[in-house]
Structure 1
């Protein structure tokens, strides 16, 4: 199979394993993995995935974190012709089990550090996936149940690899990965991203950034965060090196960047904000960088200015885009001379759409507004994903056809200003905290299930803090405990306040502006 014309996400890994086998593809801690080793190992695992499924598997869960299993498991799934489904052991078990059930995976790649919760996840699943344990022997996996087939480290290390020209074929319309994001009903919603979607994104970014085999990219994101796909495949498609950073290195990155010769930084803006507040973004402290990229939430002007001074040899860019539009769909290049004046609410513009994408700014009736007017940003093109996973009603709410093109409604209010878009905030209950997209309705659903009669979650007193106001007899402590059990840590309210009733507006909806005023007026002096 020729990889040059192959739409498969990950085909670059095979190409560079052949062309530059000794070049490093992945750095985990102090351990380097060459392209040859990475591709060969992934092909061994892929062979067992195909054998276990009796042919091409459909979806493969990757229940691992910043490990050989997490990165090579993704490559193995793609080589087997499957979609990979990233899972996070730091998420509550019920949430992960819900994802497993809805994804209906054929196999699950698990690293040794994630074994503790595995038996509980598998228990109760109607159809048990085959379990691959790349770094564990079967006897150390515990009791996974008699109906679970396990392939351990010995099986995977001795398997005959799939030959590159024998990989199950994929088309541009096949799903490359299935990512679950926060859902307003309390159930995570699945976003299937096709090989064609990913390929369009990668090609647009390579035309912009011109990465080479000499580049070294950071991996600051967990793999359940879709921005991680940029780092992984922009590196592997272009023969570069991916360097997976641990959380401590991300918040004190300077020695790591110098030691590893990092040329491309990519993170959420809050990382830059933390470093700036700590006063460590000194001028010239990151001399190896040539690209500094931020995405996932608004980029404050002060953070962009401080980062540019700290990395004077790099170009700073602000990327924007929801998962449904494949990682990012607009970009603004920071210019110290002109960008500060273009900021709105002291946030950097989100910029211009990627080549090949069509944008509309619409009102509440989905009617396009004049240039310069405020409205909801909608985007169509090859990066627009096909809709939500097995959720036609939700798809119909968020996707619509205009003049023959299918647009996704981002839910973000924007304005066209001097040829670029500036973001004015959300038009619904979806927010971002620490780069994670959150449906406040999901938090409210958990609170109601835990005993609250009414619940309203919001960002208060600042944009990084979730506060909930509830009515009913359930105590705040019990409600927070319920959230800790059901939600990732970044979604758990910092505080829960009890109220006699929630204020409503003329339409009978919760008046969040009035609720914020009440919080301001009744806040303890220490808040």
Structure 2
């Protein structure tokens, strides 16, 4: 239902706090939080944000992971009329610092486990936000700099914010960061109108009720978590935060919590299949099994369907810039196998209200059945990257009055369904994370390499770097590890005296790949961390 109260993201949470106050909104660490408790706490924290940062804060960071502060902080930011900006202590501090600088936060909510990083992140920050430390007692720490610092007692004593600021539909509801080709993360704002369009389409499709229980598997810096939280809270359901230690064998957790909606990257399901634990009938409570973030292998879909026989399996597709997902394919054991290409499940058909074009390099529509870049327009399209006019000019274009986003994904129509063939640039997906290889190259160059080229070799899940002019390749890769999250670290590093060039004077990646094919595969420098 969309009422005047819940046109804003988070309005459904407030509605259900009034109508179903004792229903459970969140299960976390063995504790249950009612809708009333979540909304009441969010309003108190929102009052503190407004008092410390002003009546209309624009952005509130949430530096927290799988803690009450992580989820209540998101709700508080929205109640304060601000966009929430999820941050994670599991990312390298340098990367988080770049996000803080780009965000210009008005307030920052920090849980106890993330507090140790805070002084380093704040040191010399041009715009120091007000700090909310809901897990911490009052201290006289001087390493947090000057500015408001609100502790647990302050937040508990705050009066509820009754008159909530009303953000406009075109104002940001949240900001996520994706990998950037310049070496800096790109800030992607998603407006209230963007996410409302997404939630409406998905509720029309999935018809969630107060009896549903949704998983929350990934970090909140990954946009699948927005689906988990707000498909639950907007519809009176419960979101259940799974302990990562249960992920290698989640069946007892699903049964204990009576989970009805699963949402994850396909690699989680593939790992269960490889381990031989994805057995038929092992997940009887599920009624929806949703996958997004990377290619879904046909064999994984088949095994999951057998393990969750009462559920509908769907493959969703979409970049952050198009608000979580924009196309979907419903798995059908009889028809879907013939629709697969490269043994991957189709990405399906666009959501209602979205427009798609498949174009060549000149943005000319390709012939029916031909391969081209997928471009999407409609109400889920971000207004554009923050402070990146050149990138916006590159990634967006207007045609016939519609503003299209260039996804960079090559697709074609096969048996009436969109199928994804690969990338048309150097952006890749590993374990569900969208990665700009150019960002890794930029970090390697800053660390001492004169030239650096990254590509997927010897397989589509392994990043290999080739360096020129690096006086100490080991030192370069160590510096890389201090700046990038584990899933972006090259597994192999080779050195060359000169890079092969094509006729345009650019690095010839095809020639470079042929050269690598003649080299022995070295031992892995880094093990790619599984998505959690």
Provide TM-score, normalisation by structure 1: 0.97
- Deviation track 1:253-272 (CA, whole Å, cap 9, x = no partner) reads 11110100000000000001
2:288 aligned residue (276, 291, 301): 291
Q: Which residue of 2 aligns with 1:366?
A: 363
CA drift at 1:162? 1.0
Q: Which residue of 2 aligns with 1:354?
A: 351
- Deviation track 1:260-301 (CA, whole Å, cap 9, x = no partner) reads 000000000000111110010000001100000000001011
Distance 2:385 2:307 in 1: 41
193-202 or 121-130, larger mean C-alpha shift: 121-130
Distance 2:489 2:180 in 1: 15
Distance 1:526 1:153 in 2: 48
- Deviation track 1:185-242 (CA, whole Å, cap 9, x = no partner) reads 0011110100000000000000000000000000111000111100000000000000
Matching of residues 224-303 of structure 1 within 5 Å: 224-303=221-300
Distance 2:5 2:160 in 1: 22
Q: Which residue of 1 aligns with 2:103?
A: 103
CA drift at 1:37? 0.4
Distance 2:141 2:27 in 1: 30
**Any gaps of 5 or more consecutive residues in structure 1?**
none
Distance 1:351 1:474 in 2: 48
Q: Which residue of 1 aligns with 2:48?
A: 48
Distance 2:308 2:259 in 1: 12
Q: Which residue of 2 aligns with 1:58?
A: 58
CA drift at 1:3? 4.8
Distance 2:109 2:191 in 1: 21
Residues 37 and 484 of structure 1: CA distance in aligned 2, closer, same or farther (over 3 Å): same
Q: Which residue of 1 aligns with 2:75?
A: 75
Q: Which residue of 1 aligns with 2:154?
A: 155
CA contact (8 A) 1:3 1:15 kept: no
CA contact (8 A) 1:81 1:168 kept: yes
- Look up the SS of the partner of 1:251 in the other structure: coil
Aligned pairs, how many? 523
Q: Which residue of 2 aligns with 1:143?
A: 142
Q: Which residue of 2 aligns with 1:311?
A: 308
CA contact (8 A) 1:3 1:14 kept: no
Residues 146 and 269 of structure 1: CA distance in aligned 2, closer, same or farther (over 3 Å): closer
Residues 197 and 18 of structure 1: CA distance in aligned 2, closer, same or farther (over 3 Å): same
Distance 1:525 1:158 in 2: 59
Q: Which residue of 1 aligns with 2:458?
A: 461
Residues 403 and 151 of structure 1: CA distance in aligned 2, closer, same or farther (over 3 Å): same
Matching of residues 124-203 of structure 1 within 5 Å: 124-139=124-139, 142-163=141-162, 166-203=163-200
CA contact (8 A) 1:56 1:82 kept: yes
- Deviation track 1:25-67 (CA, whole Å, cap 9, x = no partner) reads 0011201101000000001000111111221111001000011
CA drift at 1:158? 1.1
118-127 or 145-154, larger mean C-alpha shift: 145-154
CA contact (8 A) 1:7 1:170 kept: no
Q: Which residue of 2 aligns with 1:219?
A: 216
- Look up the SS of the partner of 1:408 in the other structure: strand
CA drift at 1:250? 2.0
**Any gaps of 5 or more consecutive residues in structure 2?**
525-532
Q: Which residue of 1 aligns with 2:474?
A: 477
Distance 2:3 2:29 in 1: 30
Matching of residues 384-395 of structure 1 within 5 Å: 384-395=381-392
Provide TM-score, normalisation by structure 2: 0.96
Distance 1:510 1:114 in 2: 41
CA drift at 1:4? 4.2
CA drift at 1:5? 5.2
Distance 2:76 2:236 in 1: 18
CA drift at 1:464? 1.7
CA drift at 1:526? 6.5
Alpha-carbon RMSD across the aligned residues, in angstroms, is 1.3
CA drift at 1:523? 1.6
Residue 446 (1) aligns with residue 443 (2): yes
Matching of residues 394-433 of structure 1 within 5 Å: 394-433=391-430
